[in-house]
Structure 1
Amino acid sequence: MTNAHELGLPERVPAGDDLPAEVTVWEVGPRDGLQNESSVVPVEVKLEFIDRLADAGLTTIEATSFVHPKWVPQLADAEPLLAGLTRRAGVRYPVLVPNERGLDRALAAGVEHIAIFASATETFANRNLNRTLDEQFAMFEPVVSRAVAEGLDVRGYVSMCFGDPWEGVVDRAAVVAVGRRLLDLGCSQLSLGDTIGVATAGQVGALLDDFAAAGTPTSALAVHFHDTYGQALTNTLAALRHGVSTVDSSAGGLGGCPFAGSATGNLATEDLVWLLEGLGVRTGVDLDRLADTSVWLAGELGRPSPSRVVAALRG
């Protein structure tokens, strides 16, 4: 008798009625994954990567960033990539926009969904944005207001929500304050980032409780975990139990933050889907196709996929 493991799927055993019935997997591999590569990946490979992710059932695929090529040369091909992209009905292709110049480029490329990237700490705001914590909002305000006026959806990333390599443990009140200001500017959703992968499940629950106490609906929150200490899946489960139903991940576990040296890879999409499928939570993602995609991309990059599920299914 064939078991679930041989089929490439876990046995579905729901772990309580406090979990969402369905989770949106926000795939960041083409942007957050590839931005950290030591070499530039050809645009043709990126386009095939995005197409394969859509084939696997992912409906939100963060395609690229309009950051200045000087800072992230791996994403300098944003315009040709978006020009060559075959957009599919029912699939969103958000792009990261750092400032008004980036927004100009995004609008010219016909983008419908953008994201901005804020910091919860003073030091990282200075290192990543060359702004103080307060000054970053003066930079974001015209971007968000113009984007909303143009009918674009705007997501707000909040980085360093749990720990900062220069400042240590981050004050939850500071994270909530930054997040609330982004929502007040017009962001429709916040992605709470464990940029260096130090969070624990207790921290995740406490931060989500604090956002709830500040009047933030859980539907406006997403989570973005890195797996530096092996806690990304545990932290994801904690977030799910608090009602979060959008989780960021990167196919094959690619990526990190180029401006935070201790950050390792993102939560692997395959590992996330394995967890969710086992809990009986719908994702709409075909795990076999996704694993095949990560194996293919690993071949293009010349190294094995960091995802443990990919290694187990295709090793």
Structure 2
Amino acid sequence: MTTARLFPVFPRRIGLSARLLVGTMVTALVASASPAAAQAAPLEPRVKKLESEMRAVQRKVFPGASDRFFEPEISAPTATPTPNGVSASAPLTDLLQRVDTLETQITRLTAQTEENGFKIGQLEKRLMQLEDQAKQAAAAAAAATPPASTVPAATPGGGGATVRPATPAAASTAAAAPSAERIAAVAKIEKPQTADAGEDAYLYGYRLWEAKFLPEAQAQLRFTLEKHPKHKRSSYTRNLLGRAYLDDGKPSAAAKMFAENYEKEPKGDRAPESLYFLGESLIKLNEKAKACVAFAELAEVYPEVAAGRLIDRLATGRRNAGCK
């Protein structure tokens, strides 16, 4: 038996218990280097002790493991018959094979321990990343959440103004709940009450806009579009909602509403006005080239209106946009 055979190479990160176990095992092998059967006999209990310690190491590395994978610490001894004709060195050979098995188990345990350590490190790293992402998302959500507010609004035909949660568009203007004075002033706006609920809803929104209650007008006009999307006043309603946004300093929302009104109802009563106010909104957004496109579309699609009721406004809009 060579020196290399007695001192096998193990992974560098093998555990302290495993290294002590291997040292004991090597000492036992050196002491039992003679092939005589007389020397093999004393080795038997020592190797059994090594195997018992190995099982203890396995249970340390894999706590809670079942008997399916590890043999019990104490088991009934089994007699190992010695076939006739086997040389006296057979017991020593058997011990060497069992030591080989121990070496293989130690190597496997070491590899498994290192792999588990790596996986745990990766899991901890991933957990930290998820925690950081959650904190960033929470901070962003807190920064983006508009302050809670309410705006007075009422359905057509109601007996008075009712308070309901404002939409994000209205909440961005109202930093706090409306005062009692404002609620009282809105309540004084007369609500039409006729047989045409869609007409009443539009006219009430118009009166709110005319009185400069812009958030309330926006809420009422959106309500009108939701409840009466096919009403004859739908073109008027979208156009007036866009104007309420524009007057309230929201040119982006206004531009979207004006474009929507023109695209959905190009033959609507207020489609030409929506093209003009679309150009005005784009000027506010510093999109003057696009504003010129909107003005040109107005002149091309609605030449009579462009040369009639909108002639002065169109000329001013083109001049402000620098259209050629």
- Classify the TM-score, shorter chain: under 0.3
Structure number with higher helix proportion: 2
Ranked by relative contact order (alpha carbons within 8 Å, sequence separation 6 or more), the top structure is 1
Rg larger in structure: 2
Relative to its length, the structure with more strand (as a share) is 1
Query: What TM-score, normalized by structure 2, do the two folds share?
Result: 0.23
Q: TM-score, normalised by structure 1?
A: 0.24
